[in-house]
């Protein structure tokens, strides 16, 4: 069935290091992917997105890479800061412009000072 | 520009009761989706509303129902509450037309069923 999952449930990095969070998806027809950050007691916060016609997209300190051949998505965070500690979810959009999002279980990122 | 607001923030209900959760969409957004997030899991799609009609539904029973109002705000109703309904309920608004991007989430309603 359709699913979005993450390879690692937890990730611990040192402050200042780069973080890489991975995600596998199974629906080759998905046309849009989003990374969300969720802090305790809050809703998911948009980080960065990418359409299926792109391989890479950069934001402020974040980069998303999409490899459609192996259905893999990654989020790279440069110079990770304590404020980056949270659970990170990738989500794929199902269907057309009004499609719902399918989320994975999330990766908990812990940043050590 | 206001974001997505949800009420109440926390709620405790008894098994068998009914509950109504509310969501105000972000300014300019006309589509509202509801998600259920169990502890330690990713959000699961319940349903979506566009132009006051249900426009897509996930794998949830009919006792989960909703409404969308002319101002694009929305309600989620759950009847005959079960213990497994305990979760964080998230509302997300988006702009349906050209709908890449703009999925803005509220902070959720934490529902506990005892």
pLDDT, tens only, A48-96: 999 999 999 999 999 999 999 999 999 999 999 999 999 999 999 876 5
- How far off is chain B from A72, nearest CA to CA, in Å? 18
State the Cα–Cα distance between residues B36 and B33, nearest whole angstrom: 10
Structural domain spans, chain A: 4-112
Q: What is the pLDDT of residues B35-73, one digit of tens each?
A: 999 988 999 999 999 889 998 899 999 999 999 999 999
State the Cα–Cα distance between residues B47 and B41, nearest whole angstrom: 18
Q: CB-CB: which of A43, A51, A97 is closest to B105?
A: A43
In Å, how far are A91, A103, B16, B78, B112 from B42, measured between CA atoms? 9, 6, 26, 20, 18
Q: Which of A10, A27, A44, A89 to mutate to test the interface with B (most CBs of B within 10 A)?
A: A44
CATH 3.40.50.300 at A4-112, yes or no? no
Q: CB-CB: which of A32, A100, A102 is closest to B48?
A: A100
Name chain A contacts of B103, Cβ cutoff 8 Å: 34, 46, 101
The pLDDT value recorded for residue B29 is 87
């Amino acid at each position: 069935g359709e699913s979005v999952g993450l390879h690692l449930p937890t990730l611990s990095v040192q402050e200042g290091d780069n973080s890489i969070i991975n995600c596998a998806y199974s629906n080759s027809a998905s046309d849009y992917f989003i990374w969300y950050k969720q802090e305790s007691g809050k809703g998911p916060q948009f980080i960065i997105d990418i359409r299926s016609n792109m391989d890479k997209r950069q934001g402020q300190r974040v980069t998303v890479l999409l490899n459609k051949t192996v259905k893999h998505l990654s989020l790279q965070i440069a110079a990770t800061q304590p404020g980056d500690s949270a659970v990170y979810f990738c989500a794929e959009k199902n269907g057309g412009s009004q499609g719902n999002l399918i989320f994975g279980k999330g990766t908990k990122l812990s940043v050590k000072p | 520009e206001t974001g997505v607001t949800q009420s109440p923030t926390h709620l405790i209900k008894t098994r068998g009761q009914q509950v109504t959760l509310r969501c105000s969409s972000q300014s300019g957004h006309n589509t509202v989706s509801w998600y259920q997030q169990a502890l330690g899991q990713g959000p699961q799609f319940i349903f979506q509303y566009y132009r006051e009609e249900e426009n897509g539904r996930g794998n949830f029973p009919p006792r989960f129902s909703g409404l969308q109002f002319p101002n694009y705000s929305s309600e989620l109703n759950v009847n005959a509450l079960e213990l497994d309904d305990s979760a964080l309920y998230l509302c997300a608004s988006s702009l349906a037309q050209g709908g890449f991007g703009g999925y803005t989430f509220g902070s959720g309603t934490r529902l506990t069923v005892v």
